[in-house]
Amino acid sequence: MKKYYRLMLGRKSINAEECFAGNFVGADFGIAVDLNVNLPEEWREFNKTYIPIFLKSHPEKSKIAAGLACGALWTVAKGIMKDDILLCPDGSGRYHVCEVAGDYAYAPGGVLPHRRPVHWLPQSIDRAEMSEALKNSTGSIGTIGDISRHQVEIEKLIGTNSGPKIIITDDTVEDPLAFAMEKHLEDFLVENWQQTALGKMYDIYKEEGEPVGKQYPCDTGAIDILAISRDEKELLVVELKKGRASDVVVGQIQRYMGYVLQELAEEHQKVKGVIIALENDIKIRRALAVAPNIEFYRYKVSFKLFKA
């Protein structure tokens, strides 16, 4: 199924014009090797090879930063598929839209040397035309982000709208409506993090002062929110239930926590988890009774109508 991404073309879109003119998109990350020599299908295998290379050339970076960089590089080189749609900001408030046209190629000496050929569409999107939810997703920190949940709006903005629908490809989702709503809750939670109970003790993980902890990629999926305690002794994995079966959510967060513990945490850091859901869930509570390092939170949605 076609997917949709937001891709930055260099820091602050500095390489955008060259990409538009050359019909390509790409990434750098200071890894000056042809990835075709070793470009595995599995994200995990890619990271095993390239995280040490990244850290060797960036000794000041953390393992979390290395994982983020290599995950983004793999996505650009291998994860995005032919015919996927990319939204690329040009630095002036407009997003240029392209369709991926081919496989990875290495351009040594060029800007963004890890490249994919693309076909730029005549349509572009002004940021002012976007909904707040799409603005939040396209404005998130990081080189590349999956914005497929906004497919209907994106297609409408570029003139290919096929009508409103909720598309769920995850067969573990029991409630598609809850899934759609809680994807927006994730954006709201990030925007209002400091006003939540979790925000009193933890900060969303940052690199170079920029928050990168939303949808942090790992080898079994993407962590909804990765945070760190203010004393930097504890990493926090936050997962929204998103309409999925209870057992699936518990197993998922445990896998994420295992990844963070084994691949990202420094020797002095512990790992804790939080599951957030709309309703009280006895199945989750039973499972967490023997998992003291995972807590369960509920959220409440309310709104008011005012006569204009």
Give domain status of residue 57, yes or no: yes
Q: What pLDDT does residue 221 have? A: 78
Query: Given 126, 157, 188, which residue is the final one in a domain?
Result: 157
Instruction: Report d(CA 121, CA 106) in Å as an integer.
Output: 23
Instruction: Give the rounded percent of residues in the chain with a pLDDT score beyond 90.
Output: 56
Domains of the chain: total: 2
Q: Is 54:66 a contact under the CB 8 Å cutoff?
A: yes
140: part of which helix (H) or strand (E)? Answer: none
Does 202 lie in the same domain as 129?
no
Position 281 confidence tier, pLDDT thresholds 50, 70, 90: confident
pLDDT in tens, 20-52: 999 999 999 999 999 999 999 988 889 999 999
Q: What pLDDT does residue 199 have? A: 92
Q: What pLDDT does residue 165 have? A: 46
Q: Which domain holds residue 10?
A: 4-157
Does 289 lie in the same domain as 185?
yes
Give domain status of residue 304, yes or no: no
Q: Which residues pair with 221 in a beta bridge?
A: 218
Position 59 confidence tier, pLDDT thresholds 50, 70, 90: very high
Does 144 lie in the same domain as 194?
no
Does 94 lie in the same domain as 198?
no
Give domain status of residue 308, yes or no: no
Domain at 71, CATH number: 3.10.590
pLDDT in tens, 155-199: 999 886 544 444 444 454 444 444 455 556 777 788 889 888 999
Does 13 lie in the same domain as 149?
yes
Give domain status of residue 213, yes or no: yes
Q: What pLDDT does residue 191 have? A: 81
Q: Which of 266, 263, 239, 265 is nearest to 251 (CA)?
A: 239
Q: What pLDDT does residue 295 have? A: 94
Give domain status of residue 171, yes or no: no
Does 264 lie in the same domain as 212?
yes
Q: Six-digit token pair at 92?
A: 């002036």
The per-residue DSSP string of 168-197 comes to ---TTBS-HHHHHHHHHHHHHHHHTGGGST
Q: What pLDDT does residue 160 have? A: 63
Instruction: Give the rounded percent of residues in the chain with a pLDDT score beyond 70.
Output: 89
Give domain status of residue 170, yes or no: no
Nearest-5° angle of CA 34, CA 36, CA 42? 120
Residue 143 burial (CB < 10 Å; 0-12/13-18/19+)? buried
Q: What pLDDT does residue 304 have? A: 64
Side chain identity at 257, as an amino acid letter?
Answer: M
Position 56 confidence tier, pLDDT thresholds 50, 70, 90: very high
Does 243 lie in the same domain as 146?
no
Does 143 lie in the same domain as 225?
no
Domain at 282, CATH number: 3.40.1350.10
Q: Which of 112, 143, 125 is nearest to 32 (CA)?
A: 112
Q: What pLDDT does residue 185 have? A: 72
Does 148 lie in the same domain as 9?
yes
Q: Which of 41, 13, 71, 52 is nearest to 212 (CA)?
A: 71
Does 230 lie in the same domain as 136?
no
- The DSSP call for residue 9 is S
Three-state SS across 45-114?
Answer: HHHHHHHHHHHHHCCCCCHHHHHHHHHHHHHHHHHCCCCCEEEEECCCCEEEEEEECCCCEECCCCCCCE
Q: Is 49:34 a contact under the CB 8 Å cutoff?
A: no
Give domain status of residue 45, yes or no: yes
Query: Given 124, 157, 190, which residue is the final one in a domain?
Result: 157
Average pLDDT score over residue span 107-113: 95
* SS3 label, residue 117: strand
Q: What pLDDT does residue 161 have? A: 53
Query: Given 157, 188, 210, which residue is the final one in a domain?
Result: 157
Tell me the C-alpha to C-alpha distance, in Å, between residue 271 and each of 45, 256, 278, 288: 23, 10, 24, 15
Average pLDDT score over residue span 7-22: 94
pLDDT in tens, 291-306: 999 999 987 766 567 7
Does 86 lie in the same domain as 221?
no
Does 83 lie in the same domain as 211?
no
pLDDT in tens, 203-252: 999 887 777 888 888 877 789 999 999 999 999 999 988 766 688 889 99
Give domain status of residue 165, yes or no: no
